[in-house]
Homo-oligomer: A and B are copies of this chain.
């Protein structure tokens, strides 16, 4: 957070200096926009601060210092472990809304869910995450099996399919659950050690690109329904990229590393990426230039057309396979009204080795990185893990990503005498960055009170009404399925009950005093109205209470 704060200070100075030197208006506006973006980022990160107190309904800021490392005189440190946090009821309300929105879409497309243990045998996870394997959380060896907390949801899914392949040769499954990475937590980067992933995958052997197009449709529906604003889904194909690298003359052993350099084009200008290829990775500059001609291209079906007629690519088998796939995909995306959300972007490469076909990454518009005065863009501040689920590289503003991985299940199935996997289940899937979505939603709600409870009616007792009478009214309401609360005091003050309604944003009150009970009446008050004439509520016969409340609740 300090680094970001320093950036903000620096950027602020720059704006002031430009203004005082009467610089070009547009130049000033650009720097101000950058400053605002940095500030917004800081605000979002503060909200996500793992050591911050749980956010309550939009009220005053908390004194973080005081919450941190509460060492009481018991000698006990009262905090959550490093890189983890509690979620307050208000945060949970937002989280549940996000999950239910996404799950509705998944179910609309026929998906089912499975649950796997939070830890796996260590050997299942070994060798799946390359460099990042050091981030795996091991359980203490207390005698017995070596286990480790799951690192993502994709490997457990592949393990599940390999174990139950005969029963689940094809399956549309979603899984929303926590995963664990023993990374250095960094509040400024939104990097947590425990965070949610949200995966939707289609497993099974089908005709080319049909499930892939439905996965993209699912992604479009999710992002639309979440209401995050405009977005673009960058799409590309591993086989086209491989073909490009081949025809440009990249040595086979350099393809992976050159691919990962290409993937940085969303954060760095071409000149820097080229430099990485030639200086750091020892690529022939002529080869790099030829790659540059391809990977800076982006567009739609017309780009596909252009590439298909490209002399070099059309002579390359891998490229042509990929281009044929893309042709089908565009056709299916058109039928599903998905094309307009996509950009065929040759610079998208994705980091993970296991992708074998289509790859994609959704980026929120307006979240593109602001350009600093020196021409560099503000670097990605959100690390893949937290946002990106089972992906190893993420662009700025990335909100979801995925692709086709046809070989992963085979890694668990063992091989036959010919060295072929015993079981091949091709898969295509997408991971939605729910932690990122959560940050955005929380930021949007920041100045609004969040209703964490579902209570519809508060039973307010005035003078002369017994606790028994209030309990009986609540019983009637609960029996009728009405969500109701009352105060657990024998002789509550009236004001404290109005306060409870306000605090919990409860829309309706049933008001009873000794008089009302005697006469078989209740008063019903709309707590949101400022209409003074209704101040004391409107009287109804007790027998009509439930019907009247239900009528009013339907109108809410």
Contacts and interface: CB of A to CB of B under 8 A. Distances in A.
A194 interface: yes
A251 interface: no
Interface string A447-460: 00000111100000
A449 to B, nearest CB: 14
Contact of A485 (B89, B109, B141, B204): B109
A116 interface: yes
A471 B413 contact: no
A149 B414 CA distance: 32
B472 A207 contact: no
Contact of A206 (B107, B119, B489, B504): B489
A86 B415 CA distance: 24
A431 interface: no
A81 B77 CA distance: 32
Interface string A469-495: 001101100100111110011100000
Given A76-B123, A453-B112, A86 B488 contact: no
Contact of A468 (B144, B207, B331, B504): B331
A414 B147 contact: no
Contact of A159 (B78, B124, B474): B78
B107 A475 contact: no
Interface stretch (A17-25, A209-217, A253-261, A306-314): A209-217
Contact of A471 (B119, B139, B336, B414): B336
Nearest to A127: B76
Contact of A76 (B109, B115, B414): B414
Interface of A: 53-54, 56, 67, 70, 72-74, 76-82, 84-89, 91-93, 95-96, 107-121, 123-124, 137-142, 144-145, 147, 149, 159-160, 162-164, 167, 171, 173, 178, 180, 182, 194, 202, 204, 206-207, 210-211, 213-214, 217, 221, 331-332, 334-337, 411-415, 422, 452-455, 467-468, 471-472, 474-475, 478, 481-485, 488-490, 504
